[in-house]
Structure 1
Amino acid sequence: MKTTLRLELPALPTLHAGSRVAFAVLDRQQAVQRAGELPLSELASAVPAGRIEAILHPADSVVAAVTLPPLPGHRLAAAVEGAVEPLLLGEIDALAVAHGARAADGSVPVAWAAREALARALRLLAECGLPADAVLPAPLALPVASDGWTVLVRADHVVVRTGPQSGEVWAIDPLATTGDDPALAALQPALEQGSPARLDWIDPPPAGRPELAGTALRALPAEARWQGPAPGWSLALPALQPHRRGRSPWRGPIAWAAGAAAVWLLGLNVHAWQLGREETALRQRMTAQVKAAFPDLPVVLDPVRQAEQRRDALRAAGGEFGTTDFLPLALAAAQLLPEASNNLKELRYATGELRLRLADDAIGMVATNAPAAAPEPATSQRPRRFLPRRENTAPAGPAPAAVTRMEIDPAILQRAASLGLGVTRDEGEWVIRPGGDAGKDGGMRPAPAAGVRIQPDQSRR
């Protein structure tokens, strides 16, 4: 758990390594975890902390406010020094001036301390292993009262925090002759001018009560002196910080960035390892599923591709209609013989062959005339005798009559060729097959390798 160590420094001119310093360790909720007093040189080893804040002696710093117009950030520091200079009795170069952000009303909180004394204190803290991350004026380390002031008596001074960015310090006059408490006497002029509704007085409380109507007094425990919120700016100016070997303002951010990068890389590697295991397991499951689905595969190297190839092969074989299936042949027959749609008498299909018998046998047929064959002359078995040639021969007999034949309409044959079909007639039935040649005489020949083309058989004239 990150903690904050707050130190109440004595007056800067008297600070040395053996000075006893009051301290408190705060957690993230500003609760006091430990408090005490130790020599400065022993604090680093006895009280390790993540952040160190030093609280100056009330007499070592001054808190004020100046009013400035809106300015860019790089010009605000110079404007603050120019506004503070009329308030000083000495040279501004001898002071360390710090400021906060400009408020909406134009006010800018400022604080200053002796430059050399502050630089020496920062070096001493660093040498003792307590490099200060912030140096707070005494008023700005106290709690903030919601409707009043917070008061602490410390080292003969009345320290008052009047707001989140404001506070004042009044010295207690030990020779005061009034009957009031010396702290109240020192605070009385400020009370008359400011008139707060309530005073939160950190233990020990004053001996008397403020003589102001409407101002209530509430006691706070002693540990409340450590629990004030820091204003967000401090007198630990970078120019005054000593050179610390191995430690720089960027050390913390760089360390956090390196740690975050290491955690990110570790997580990335773990995630990649998990994804690799999941990929291996998924590939093994896919291989097992492919082997179970296709046991004839000898080796499975690429389960997805091999499964797709086998799926496509099965789809081409049985998942989709082939050219020899009934439905493609029936559709092709309807295109080949459109006149047979209302004359179908019988239909039979068997393994790539469709047979149709029509009520009208003349559909799709045409009549052709073919000459009859001439009769062979009769020959005698007697031996021939050589006779003198006669010029006058016997007159020829009558010519044979033509024979009428029924053949497939050439238009149907041409249509079958365009559909890639073979068509024949067999005993009054139309026989339709894919990828064959049919002749007029009903013969079938194998289709060429490049595809099926049906043409009329012209071999017989």
Structure 2
Amino acid sequence: MPCRFEHKLRQLSTMNELFIRLDDKPEVTWLRQGEVSGDTASRTGPLPDPSGHADCHVIVFVPGSDVVLLMADVPPMTRQRMSTAVPFALEDHLIADVDLLHFALGRRSGSEPLPVAVVADGLMSAWLSRLEEAGIYPEFLIPETLALPLAPDTWTVFMDADGALIRSGALSGLAVDLPNLAIMLRSALDNAPDSALDSALDTGDNPPKRIRLLHCGEGAAMDIPPLGPGCEVTEEVCRADRLQLLAAHFDEQRAINLLQGKYNRETDVRQTWRAWRVPFALVVIWFAIWVAGALFDVARLSERSRILGEEMEAVYRQVFPEARNMTNLRVRMKRGLDALRGTGARETVGFLELLGRVGVHLQDARNIRLVSLDFRSERLELRMEMDDLQAFDGIKARLVGEGLVVEVLSVTSRESTVMAHLRITPGEASPRAGVA
């Protein structure tokens, strides 16, 4: 009777799915399913353009003949330790060197044997390189054997022109050539002493009660001789092609994803993060220190600016005591200094010029001691100590002879000391006459 093929959407109904079947041919078969696409026909050709399927989960089926499904008898342990122990546990079942193989672990319950998918490292690299060159990064890489229909106590045998696939359990099965199919089934059901075959099909002590033969396409039909009592053989004609059948029955919970270990994209991200987390942490620490230093410098410079502002205001008040407006002190100070230097309407005498004319005579007088000096509004006020009034009269005469206007503000005599307070303003400069 014909095989009923139903187009089945997976539970992730909000996402479309892109199924791709790889083999050793230049072209591939691909199929898109989901709520957007209503076309369930598979297509054959180059790998599809990923830009048109960006909203899809990508599931890739690889040939069952390239993947060996075995059962490893290892005790319960962490998954990381199992990945190390499994190659040694299966070494006797494999011809190739285990160092050249990739082992993907399936799920198991309790102490049951661990399902393992074994594939050559070179094939894994070739498949992924082929996909990545086309811009395709799959989420699942599944042996096509584990996407056949699954039923309790039933082996599903799919046959088409490319060969036969057998699924004997949730995570067990193998691929076989059509001419050897009947011999292999007979050997497995007769419990022949073939440990590799027994491990691949997981026959154990419970042989199947039913073998379901699915014929797909011309050239796939063949006669299967009776397989013994207690095992029913049914034959069906499948209207769908191989990829349609695999896509309809794929269940990620009952399959082994080959993208594990070094081929796991999430693992690559974690390994990259593990390699760069120390430099990244150092960069973050350095940046935090730099920001803290910058904030400290801003605070320090702000405080320094405030102190300088206060000092500038104090100097401005000292130089210009009549000033009331304390805004924009820098400009006001510059204008005031320009006025003192003679930038006003009339020329003024600078402090240094007046001090130079007075200082010459003070320097020559050995018995005169300068107490204080104040310059304001072009007037120089001097407070001096001297030994006697004769010295006072002498310095006054010299300053007047210099052409300066000398105003005596006060003269006091105390014991042997004379205190004099003079106000000196500029007058006409005259040649020095050598006043004694």
Which TM-score bucket, shorter chain as reference?
Answer: 0.3 to 0.5
Bigger-Rg structure (1/2): 1
Higher relative contact order (CA 8 A, sep 6+): 2
More helix by share: 2
What's the TM-score once normalised by structure 2's chain length?
0.47
What's the TM-score once normalised by structure 1's chain length?
0.45
